[in-house]
Structure formats: structure tokens, C-alpha cells
Amino acid sequence: MRAMVVRDAGAPDHLKLEDVPMPELRPNDVRIKVEACGVCFHDVVTRNGVMKRGIRMPLIPGHEVSGIVESVGPRVKLFKPGDRVCTAQRRHICGYCRFCRSGRETSCDEREFLGDADLNGGYAEYVCVEDDNVVHVPAGVDLAQASIVSCAIGTELNAIRDVGQVKPGERVLISGAGGGLGVHGLQLARGAGAYVYAVTTSPDKADKLKQWGAHEVIICGRGEDFSPQIKDATQGEGVDVVIDNVGSVLFEPTRRSLGMGGRWIFVGQLTGDFVRLNPAQLFMRDITIRSVKSTSRNQLQDSLQLVKQGLVKPVISVEMPLEHAAIAHEQVETGKAFGRVLLRPGLSA
């Protein structure tokens, strides 16, 4: 099969089109003919070497996958060839630990993130994923759009509904608002009844962000302090919740933007940079820091229902053939893309 392979960390041109063997079908595996795979910033930091934990090269990136079931292993009961499916971000979980049995499989000690190791990721014509990490795509949901639901929508649902527990009337700041996570976070926060502030580095994205749910858009250069604008907009009080899709680059302005009792939910980290912090800056204002790292299967199924009901819409800026993965990475890494970029193995270059 054709696949985009990374053999050593580096620039986007380290993504090379290769002919590789079909992924091996194990007893609990579902082999999927890939319809589409989203390009996430996680893929970028895997490829460029910023992400090191769990990475094993050579690899085929990609964890946001939808497609048609081609074949199943002998232990698979819920799926059959021809089913329309999409995946969670994992290739494997144990299924029996205390995390897996309580809907927190994102913390399973055995979890294997799809696309982080070996030649079995979504930037390919076929991928194998264990059945615990596959769900049916509901009728009426576009199969290509379903590819990004687990990560771009499900992770933000986790952050906003389950971890951040956003309530109607609260003020919510979304950083990286024009990216694949942020634009779906806007929709979810707005749907939860929040007043939403969108932070972006791109003036060109301001109107689109308002169209997708932002009440106010804050434009700032990379690393600039936007907190004075937030303080002005909130009459000096700050926001109740931050959904932080950027991480250390915006650490200080984000901290200054939080109000008394604020909840700071970490979702993304775009660089390998560390931060300095005086803990008093948090506990004197009763600020809580929590995090999310992916989507459970239940959250993925909930997200698919939101899409089916038209309450959240997957935002896709462009669809590209598999061979254009390096171009897709360049667009995502530089912040040019609005929403998600899709790779479609069936498209001609």
C-alpha cells in the first residue's frame, strides 16, 4: 500500500511517499480502508522531533481516521467488512485496567497512540486499529468529516464539558482559536451557554471566528501579552475558564487573563519550551489547573451525535491527496490553515 513515512525527525520534507506492506491484522484488529485522515499538530511535533515520548521511527503518522472496514480479526464481534467507521486516537488499550473500566482509557498504561510508532498510522491507504478504539459513523454523518471528530471535537468536548465543566454565562477564553481544536472549542463553548473570547495570531481569521461562535476576537502576535485586552473586556475581572490549545508560548498572558477561581484546562503544547512559575500566582487567586490528552470512546460517540444533530460542524479548510502531506504540515505548522486539513488517499495528486 501507499503511505507517507517518516524515517527520522525533521522538516516537512521528511515525509516521504513509500510502498509499504499492509498492516498486520491481529486477532482484535479492524483493518480500515482509509477515507480520510486529519492533520493534527500532534503529527507536526511527532515529525519534527519535539514529541519524544512513545515515538518509535520509522513511522506513519496520523490518528484521526475514518474509512470502510476491509477485514476484521477473529475476535472482533461488533464490526464487519463494509461498515463505516472512525477511530479514537489510540491503536491499543488493555481494556481491563481501572482506567479502561471507568471510561478513562485515555490514561491506560498500555495505550498506544495511533501513528506514533511503526508503520501503522492514518497517512496511508489502510490502517489497523483494535476494536476497542473504533466506532460506527452514524447515518447522515459525512464519512470524511467524521475523521476529525475524535481529536478536534472530542478532545475539546472533554475539556469543556467534562473537565472544565463550563456553565451557562461563564466567560471562556479559547487560545489557538483558528486551529483545528480551537474552532471546534468555540462551537462547544458557545453551545454550553458561555460568553466566548477567541485568541488568534491571524487578523484574517477574525471574521470566521465570529461566524463559528466567538463573541469577541483578540488578535495578538505570537507570544504577545493579550491579557490587558481581556481585562478591559471583562471590566478587570478576567475569564472563568481557559481552554489552552497552545501551551507555554502563551503561558504568562493566559495566567494573567484568568479571574478569581478560574479553571485553566491544558489541551495543547506546540513547542518543547518550559515555563517558570511562582505557585503563589495561582493559589492566591484560587486558580485550578487541569488537563486533557485525548478522547474516550464514549466522548467520541457523544461528539458524533452532536455532529449528526447539527449542533457542532466539523470545520475543514482543505482536502489534499496523500502525496501532499508535507504541504499540509507546512500549513498547519505555520498557522495558515483554518480548522483542519484532511489527507484523502483516494484523491489524485
Q: Are 244 and 262 in contact (CB under 8 A)?
A: no
Locate 319 and state its grid cell.
482536502
Note the Cα 170 to chain centre separation in Å. 24
The CATH number of 153-291, from 3.40.640.10, 3.90.180.10, 3.10.20.30, 3.30.1490.480, is 3.90.180.10
Locate 123 and state its grid cell.
497517512
pLDDT reported for residue 217: 95
Q: Which residues contact 136 (CB under 8 A, 6 or more apart)?
A: 79, 83, 84, 85
Question: What single DSSP character describes residue 277?
Answer: -
Nearest CA to 177 among 112, 258, 243?
A: 243
Q: Are 174 and 185 in contact (CB under 8 A)?
A: yes
Q: Are 245 and 176 in contact (CB under 8 A)?
A: yes
In order along its 349 residues, the chain shows pLDDT tens digits of: 999 999 999 999 999 999 999 999 999 999 999 999 999 999 999 999 988 888 999 999 999 999 999 999 999 999 999 999 999 999 999 999 999 999 899 999 999 999 999 999 999 999 999 999 999 999 999 999 999 999 999 999 999 999 999 999 999 999 989 888 999 999 999 999 999 999 998 888 999 999 999 999 999 887 789 999 999 999 999 999 999 988 777 888 999 999 999 999 999 776 777 878 878 888 878 899 999 989 999 999 999 999 999 999 999 999 999 999 999 999 999 888 899 999 999 888 7
Other C-beta atoms closer than 10 Å to the C-beta of 273 total 11
- The architecture (CATH level 2) of 2-148+314-344 comes to Alpha-Beta Complex (3.90)
pLDDT reported for residue 133: 96
> What gap in Å lies between CA 217 and CA 196, rounded to an integer?
9
Residues of CATH 3.90.180.10 domain(s) within the chain?
2-148+314-344, 153-291
> What gap in Å lies between CA 151 and CA 62, rounded to an integer?
11
> What gap in Å lies between CA 313 and CA 301, rounded to an integer?
15
Nearest CA to 340 among 43, 48, 12?
A: 43
Locate 333 and state its grid cell.
505548522
Residue type, 333: E
pLDDT reported for residue 349: 72
> What gap in Å lies between CA 159 and CA 120, rounded to an integer?
28
Q: Are 172 and 194 in contact (CB under 8 A)?
A: yes
pLDDT reported for residue 119: 94
pLDDT reported for residue 229: 93
Locate 155 and state its grid cell.
478532545
End-to-end CA distance of the chain: 16
Q: Are 32 and 69 in contact (CB under 8 A)?
A: yes
